[in-house]
Structure 1
């Protein structure tokens, strides 16, 4: 998996878990080696003492040459799984659990010295044993005793199970501890992200709470200072655009009035003057529309406190908007049930009007307007009969003063490049987004989505949730 795709919380949790797993694994390995070594050493010392005593008794019996060696060896066996083997010039004598002398590890007898018995661990017929071999003192031969290690092996198995389970449990505990630590450490970052998202959505009054930690307090103070400066800059720019637009309205109205007066006396003018007057009127009307759009954008750029939100039924809104549109009326496909959303009615009217106007200017006119609800989401669609928008322009058409393929046109119907930008701004103020995609069958489709749960919030009188309809989306398909 690509490391860039792993979240910081996951990496911190994994680091805690892996670190604790490594530390506990080292401690468990050291505990295993120390414990097993100590237990084996104690078992070996006990076997040496026991074998030394038994070997002395066997040596005495061999020296006296009585016939009781077999009975002696049977009496010296310590249990059903123990075995005694005595090597004498006349052959091997055994007692206890039958084990063939050929099963003894090679080199065991050759390593045995007087006062220094030889040891070896092996499995004899499925039973783990400790072999102790030492030479007889007064006879040519060896005394070999096989001590069963079943109890010791059971202890080793339990110890191994405990150490492995403890290591894995510590690893999981490290992951849980890392997740808890990461969550607490990233909590201020989550607050920063939420505040930044609120500012990006247009809530310029969002600020971070004061931080008590010495590491986070300067960051929060700097962030809030930056947000203050950004709010002042946005308000200053919006105020400047509004002031300029207002100042332009008066002379623009005067020029438009004079041009219309001249238009009524157009027949008395020579042909060149008539053509110039026609161009002047077209530019004045286009300029007037641009000023009105700039005033609209300036109003959009102001902070949206949600006070103008209300319950809006998209069905009557669509019927009213389509009826008031000067373009030919498209086919209506509306759901029979009420389609309620919590939104600013004026802005929704403007979104629908701009989409219909855009379809009339560039898409051959709207042919279908639909509104439906699905999975708790209300969707409004506007289909046109145009050729569509190229893929490389589907994002740029929502930028201000972007007119796509019509950027070089200067006729009255070319538009100002602000209509879809206003749509995008209004939709964004409703926590939505706008995009372009192909319509089935050709042409363009504009869609506006809004969750119905916002309307439920209004009905239940919860202003905090009713103020924003949530994940509303406007979609333009081409």
Structure 2
């Protein structure tokens, strides 16, 4: 199910980082939510309670002033003094008329429900927006049906709550980013053994059978390291045994093969003295002996493990030289529009190109073009023929040893050894390059070899 989601397509260390960030986001988000609710509830309740207590004290002063009938103007002065700050409003409804002081507020803007409760003898309070300012309205009943109201500003409390919300939101965001960074770091650290395994496996796949993992004392990694190294040891030993076997067999065959070649050469020179049936048998024998000789030489070359003798050279000039020396019935066009420098083993490069041209002669009616050009960080060689082509499902199999069968039969007389392209692939891998088969534009086969270029 995870692979169907976009997250499932992320690299593992990124998924670990996202998981850390998600957990951090949830935990700090819950903490911030609880903190916000508790803090806002406490601060608002404190503000409302403070306003209620202040109204109770002010109400007593107003009632005393109203009871003192001798001081007629004292009530107005008292109301003005009770307002305190310019943003506070004090309002007294007496005999149906409103007397206000402090911030001017239209009595019609006061919440009707609060006034109704006060008229019925019950004190009430409510947080509302009054004239565009957050406020708490507190109303208390007075004798004779009068109502005393105070409007306390709450903009400072709201500003504090907004600041608190920004701080909490920022803390959650920073926590998520830190969780992501921590997850990336933890994922990278946790995947270091996997990275080491990947690199060692890549080196083995590239032909370096000496690649091993460093020993580990970790209880969980030690079995993996031991198993990998043991498998690599077994693989190296098996490959070495196979190479030694092929080398020994090929070496032992050289002496009798030389005898057969010489004997076939003597018979060939004297074939005119033989009967027609014997002459045909000698020709067949000579062809098979020559094919056997090429196979033994190819097996010896494959089994060799000597190091490369690399030197710099201009690839186009090397290809031109090989084509000129080779000659033959089919001389391909060399298309090398710009110089490309490579560091290669000249002998093995000659074998690569020679085998590709032999393969084209045997199965594709001869090579028609050899293209040489730079491609990204590689030097690219393209060998084109005009044969029937190779089906896509068989293009990888042609680089296997003795890969002939129906594929070879569909491309020619099948006279090859089945080792030419296998030897090409082995030499290209030793040069840290790559080789593949694709369709030539216009029909036929194109074999592409890419070798690491040299920056000039």
Aligned to 1:444: 445
Matches of 2:140 and 2:266, distance apart in 1: 133
Preserved contact between residue 335 and residue 369 of structure 2 (Cα < 8 Å): yes
Distance 1:324 1:412, change over 3 A: farther
Preserved contact between residue 283 and residue 412 of structure 1 (Cα < 8 Å): no
Distance 1:298 1:307, change over 3 A: closer
Aligned to 1:47: 51
1:63 deviates by 3.7
Aligned to 1:311: 312
- TM-score, normalised on structure 2? 0.89
Distance 1:186 1:200, change over 3 A: same
1:29 deviates by 1.1
Q: Does 1:290 align with 2:292?
A: no
**Which secondary structure state, in structure 1, belongs to the residue aligned with residue 202 of structure 2?**
helix
1:109 deviates by 3.6
Preserved contact between residue 354 and residue 419 of structure 1 (Cα < 8 Å): yes
Matches of 1:18 and 1:411, distance apart in 2: 63
**Which secondary structure state, in structure 2, belongs to the residue aligned with residue 382 of structure 1?**
strand
Aligned to 1:476: none
Matches of 2:413 and 2:56, distance apart in 1: 118
Aligned to 2:106: 100
1:172 deviates by 0.9
Q: How many pairs align? A: 449
Matches of 1:391 and 1:373, distance apart in 2: 25
More deviation in 14-23 or 395-404? 395-404
Preserved contact between residue 62 and residue 139 of structure 1 (Cα < 8 Å): no
Distance 1:111 1:238, change over 3 A: farther
Matches of 1:124 and 1:159, distance apart in 2: 24
Matches of 1:410 and 1:153, distance apart in 2: 86
CA deviation vs aligned residue, 1:33-79 (integer Å, no higher than 9, x gap): 12112211221222112100111122223344563333332221122
Counterpart among 62, 68, 88 of residue 66 in structure 2: 62
**Which secondary structure state, in structure 1, belongs to the residue aligned with residue 129 of structure 2?**
strand
Aligned to 1:6: 10
Provide structure 1 residue ranges, at least 5 long, that are not aligned to the other structure: 457-478
Matches of 2:346 and 2:255, distance apart in 1: 29
Q: Does 1:144 align with 2:149?
A: yes
Aligned to 2:334: 332
Distance 1:165 1:64, change over 3 A: same
**Which secondary structure state, in structure 1, belongs to the residue aligned with residue 220 of structure 2?**
coil
Q: Does 1:415 align with 2:416?
A: yes
Aligned to 1:176: 181
Provide structure 2 residue ranges, at least 5 long, that are not aligned to the other structure: none
Preserved contact between residue 109 and residue 131 of structure 2 (Cα < 8 Å): no
Matches of 2:273 and 2:119, distance apart in 1: 140
Preserved contact between residue 130 and residue 147 of structure 1 (Cα < 8 Å): yes
Distance 1:233 1:335, change over 3 A: same
- TM-score, normalised on structure 1? 0.85
Aligned to 1:389: 390
Matches of 2:395 and 2:324, distance apart in 1: 28
Q: Does 1:223 align with 2:228?
A: yes
Preserved contact between residue 378 and residue 452 of structure 2 (Cα < 8 Å): yes
1:252 deviates by 3.4
1:21 deviates by 1.4
1:309 deviates by 2.5
1:239 deviates by 1.2
Please tell me the root mean square deviation across aligned C-alpha atoms, in Å.
Answer: 2.8
Preserved contact between residue 364 and residue 411 of structure 2 (Cα < 8 Å): no
Alignment of 1:335-346 (within 5 A): 337=339, 339-346=340-347
Aligned to 2:86: 80
Distance 1:336 1:31, change over 3 A: closer
1:131 deviates by 1.1
Preserved contact between residue 48 and residue 117 of structure 1 (Cα < 8 Å): no
Matches of 1:430 and 1:213, distance apart in 2: 37
Matches of 2:303 and 2:180, distance apart in 1: 51
Q: Does 1:126 align with 2:132?
A: yes
Aligned to 2:190: 185
